[in-house]
Amino acid sequence: MSKKKTFFIDIGNTSLKYCSYHNGDYQIENSLEAKDVNKERVEQLFSGTYCLICSVVPDIDGLFKSIRSIECVFISPAAIPYISTHVDHVEQVG
């Protein structure tokens, strides 16, 4: 029996980049320009999947959260304490 397809999604101010993991295989998928992200497109790509999301765009976060057929988990840098970075503007990092 196969598990639900999982997407790893990076949502930035200019683009949404994603890849998938399913049945033991990673697949490089694609990206969308942030201006082209809408409810119809998000449902078409991610409906019925599990999405791990790192984001700096609250409006797009809300879009994912509003679609019940997508199971979302949002990851922030604070959620991964064993990885450290030096960033001048942490609010710009998803």
What pTM did the predictor assign?
A: 0.80
**CB-CB neighbours of 41 under 10 Å:** 13
Domains and CATH numbers, the chain: 6-92 (3.30.420.40)
Q: What is the pLDDT of residues 20-67, one digit of tens each?
A: 988 888 888 899 999 999 999 999 999 999 999 999 899 999 999 999
Let me know the angle formed at the C-alpha of 85 by 73 and 55, rounded to the nearest 5 degrees: 30
Q: What is the pLDDT of residue 1?
A: 41
How would you write 48-68 as a 3-class SS string? Answer: CCEEEEEECCHHHHHHHHHCC
Least confident segment among 12-21, 28-37, 73-82, 84-93:
84-93
Given this model, what pLDDT does residue 58 score? 93
Side chain identity, residue 79:
A
* pLDDT band at residue 70 using 50, 70 and 90 as cut-offs: very high
Amino acid at 2: S
CA–CA separation, 21 vs 93, rounded Å?
23
